[in-house]
């Protein structure tokens, strides 16, 4: 059984439902009828959003397939609330109630539904399949979590599959049962939960515009707060101002605010070369329609050339952000804003752990002359979209295709379910990237499922992925690089996706010794944690953190100067291990007897104080210094 993922609660996230108007409220009072809505329970982080057209079709299909009906969804406002899980996992909220959880099965490569008690109450009188009618005698005592006795089943489907969610009809009660195997191997139904509450029969079919009107007062309040912050800062500012516009909903909301705070703001769009074609068209069309001063910055670096050097980017190895985003943006800002600028952008605290501590005013640590303003940092996705609709602007059409986020189409931060969607919506893009990934996996002697199940999206895999891989016998360790030449290439800077300065590098070096020797010697830099099964060693030092992989990848997070020093130090140790001549000069230099030579250098961690004297006169260390001096920065 997979453990649940870590989640977070970055801020207060309340949702209410107006029963009179049958629609969601972002505050407790409805602006249309004046009624006070009932509170809807949301799992954290609570970044609730409108259900897209494509997701509505998916839900209709799944309800019809599992329960023989889906008419109750027609014309209704449906909300989705992302919660923790292995991949996509959304609470489905209908008429103010959590009726089901929509999730993506990575192994089966398909979407599924987990029914909730409110959903069972809704379906108890409607379901044409997936219905189990029970003797109400089972209601005596506590039944949640118990097995449903066969002699208490009045009727049931002819066939049931492991994991199926069924509707339990028990007299005036409704419940959810899950088909499971018992310890003796027999199939049975475990009672998940039951409820006596009837599902409210709301006959109204409000539109999205009705939701906007019902939330008008709170939308105006959000705008007032944001504009007060922006105008307050700009009244004391003498630098030029621009808006970072990606074509997504968050930056669009910021653009709406900027247009009200100043006249014709300059708009910066970084065309990474990996944008969806719809996004590029949308940005250009919107800028033309609104007569905006669009500055489109094209990435000079060819991603598909660099990926051959660095391998696929990962959530924790986003070298592509530096080559295709940060680099072009930095060059543009230096050329066009030599004295600095203020940039309004759409980062929000609900998006990730990294962004949970965003402040309204921040300095770009890599471009100190750029100050960023985050006026919608504490808005939720629903509030963002309501604000856009309130301003009578159509958002990027990709949102209706069930894309939760709009960015690079092959971004490792996307969910595996989104890649499955791209296979349908953009087959040529999907085929191009999948072809590369499968060739890379074959060259790296990796299981094909490493690509098909999305494991390439991490360097250091989280526990939930390690557990899944273990269950299915998939080796997550990427093999050591086997090139005979020696080369070091790297990208550096603050990733637009994160908050810290980082370096991602690829060190190609002859593999004369196993990676375990590298992991054993890297404690010359600091405290080491070695994961042999993953082919990775993490070093914690006073300067920062270094992660070294068997395939030659190096990741460093630290301050700018410290990160570059750590890259030199880590590369030096790796080269000393792989190119050791066994001259034993290092043994003579070490006053503590902490280093010895076997096939290569061996460090006694208990004796080593990391003084660095062992590198004095070392031929391999000298060669390492020469290689590092010729370091090829792919992008700064």
Q: What pTM was computed for the model? A: 0.83
Tokens, residue 330: 């930095």
- Domains 15-195 and 215-425 belong to one CATH topology: no
Digit-coded pLDDT (tens) for 479-524? 765 544 677 888 877 655 555 688 898 888 888 888 899 999 999 9
Average pLDDT for 8-12: 60
Place of tokens 């003498």: 238
CA distance 314 to 411: 8
Digit-coded pLDDT (tens) for 250-261? 999 999 999 999
Average pLDDT for 274-299: 95
Backbone dihedral angles phi then psi of residue 42, each to the nearest 5 degrees: -120, 135
Tokens, residue 305: 């050339």
Q: Are 320 and 314 in contact (CB under 8 A)?
A: no
CA distance 249 to 388: 8
User: Residue 343 pLDDT > 50, yes or no?
Assistant: yes
Nearest one of 141, 617, 206, 515 to 389, comparing CA atoms: 206
Q: How confident is the model at residue 1 (pLDDT cuts 50, 70, 90)?
A: very low
Q: Are 83 and 43 in contact (CB under 8 A)?
A: yes
Question: What ranges do the domains of the chain cover?
Answer: 15-195, 215-425, 487-635
Q: Which of 63-81 are b and which e, b meaning 16 or more Cβ less than 10 Å from the residue's Cβ?
A: beebbebbebbeebbbbbb
Cis-peptide into 45, omega within 30 deg: yes
pLDDT of res. 447? 95
CA distance 535 to 531: 6
Residue 22 CA: distances (Å) to CA of 38, 43, 509: 11, 21, 64
The percentage of the chain sitting over the pLDDT mark of 90, rounded to a whole number, equals 66
CATH fold of 215-425: Rossmann fold (3.40.50)
CA distance 614 to 584: 10
Q: How confident is the model at residue 139 (pLDDT cuts 50, 70, 90)?
A: confident
pLDDT of res. 498? 54
Cα of 245 vs its chain's centroid, Å: 20
Place of tokens 């959880």: 101
**CATH, range 15-195:** 3.10.400
pLDDT of res. 485? 64
The matching CATH number, chosen from 1.10.10.60, 3.40.50.300, 3.20.20.70, 3.30.310.10, for 487-635 is 3.30.310.10
């Amino acid at each position: 059984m997979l453990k649940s993922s870590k989640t977070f609660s970055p801020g207060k996230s309340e949702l209410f439902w107006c029963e009179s108007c049958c629609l969601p409220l972002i505050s407790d009072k409805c602006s249309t009828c004046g009624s006070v809505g009932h509170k809807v329970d949301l799992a954290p982080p609570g970044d609730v959003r409108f259900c897209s057209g494509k997701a509505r079709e998916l839900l209709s299909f799944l309800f019809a397939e599992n329960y023989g009906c889906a008419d109750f969804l027609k014309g209704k406002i449906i909300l989705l609330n992302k919660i923790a899980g292995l991949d996509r996992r959304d609470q489905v909220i209908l008429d103010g109630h959590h009726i089901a959880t929509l999730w993506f099965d990575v192994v089966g490569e398909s979407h599924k539904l987990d029914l909730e008690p409110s959903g069972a109450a809704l379906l108890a009188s409607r379901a044409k399949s997936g219905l189990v009618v029970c003797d109400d005698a089972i209601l005596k005592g506590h039944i949640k979590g118990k097995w449903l006795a066969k002699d208490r089943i009045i009727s049931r489907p002819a066939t049931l599959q492991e994991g199926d969610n069924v509707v339990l009809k028990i007299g005036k009660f409704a419940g959810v049962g899950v088909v499971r195997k018992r310890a003796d191997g027999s199939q049975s139904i475990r009672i998940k939960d039951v409820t006596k509450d009837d599902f409210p029969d709301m006959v109204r079919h409000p539109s999205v515009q009705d939701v906007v009107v019902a939330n008008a007062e709170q939308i105006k309040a959000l705008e007032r707060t944001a504009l007060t912050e922006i105008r307050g800062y700009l009244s004391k500012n003498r630098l030029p101002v621009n808006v970072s516009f990606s074509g997504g909903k968050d930056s669009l909301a910021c653009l709406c605010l900027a247009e009200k705070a100043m006249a014709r703001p300059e708009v910066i769009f970084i065309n990474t070369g990996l944008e969806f074609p719809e996004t590029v068209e949308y940005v250009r069309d919107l800028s033309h329609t609104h007569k905006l001063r669009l500055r489109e910055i094209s990435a000079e670096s060819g991603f598909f050339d660099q990926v051959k050097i660095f391998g696929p980017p990962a959530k924790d190895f986003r070298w592509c952000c530096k080559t295709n985003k940060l680099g072009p943006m930095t060059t543009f800002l230096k050329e066009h804003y030599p004295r600095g600028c203020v940039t309004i952008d759409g980062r929000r605290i609900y998006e990730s752990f990294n962004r949970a501590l965003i402040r309204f005013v921040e300095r770009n640590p890599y471009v100190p002359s750029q100050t960023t303003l985050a006026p919608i940092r504490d808005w939720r996705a629903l509030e963002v979209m309501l604000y856009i609709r309130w301003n009578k602007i159509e958002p990027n059409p990709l949102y209706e295709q069930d894309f939760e986020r709009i960015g690079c189409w092959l971004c490792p931060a996307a969910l595996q379910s989104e890649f499955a969607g791209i296979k349908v919506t953009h087959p040529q893009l999907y085929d191009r990237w999948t072809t590369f990934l499968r060739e890379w996996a074959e060259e790296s002697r990796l299981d094909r499922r490493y690509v098909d199940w999305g494991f390439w999206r991490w360097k250091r895999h989280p526990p939930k992925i390690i557990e899944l891989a273990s269950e299915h016998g998939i080796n997550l360790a990427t093999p050591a690089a086997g090139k005979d030449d020696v080369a070091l290439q790297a990208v550096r800077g603050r990733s637009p996706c994160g908050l810290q300065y980082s370096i991602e590098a690829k060190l190609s070096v002859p593999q004369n010794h196993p990676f375990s020797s590298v992991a054993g010697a890297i404690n010359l830099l600091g405290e080491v944690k070695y994961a042999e099964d993953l082919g990775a060693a993490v070093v914690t030092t006073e300067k920062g953190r270094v992660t070294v992989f068997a395939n030659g990848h190096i990741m460093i997070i630290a301050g700018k100067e410290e990160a570059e020093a750590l890259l030199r130090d880590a590369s030096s140790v790796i080269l000393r291990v792989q190119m050791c001549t066994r001259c034993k000069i290092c043994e003579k230099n070490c006053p503590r007897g902490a280093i010895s030579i076997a096939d290569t250098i061996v460090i006694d961690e208990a004796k080593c104080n990391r003084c660095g004297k062992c590198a004095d006169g070392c031929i391999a260390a000298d060669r390492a210094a020469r290689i590092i001096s010729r370091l090829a920065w792919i992008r700064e």
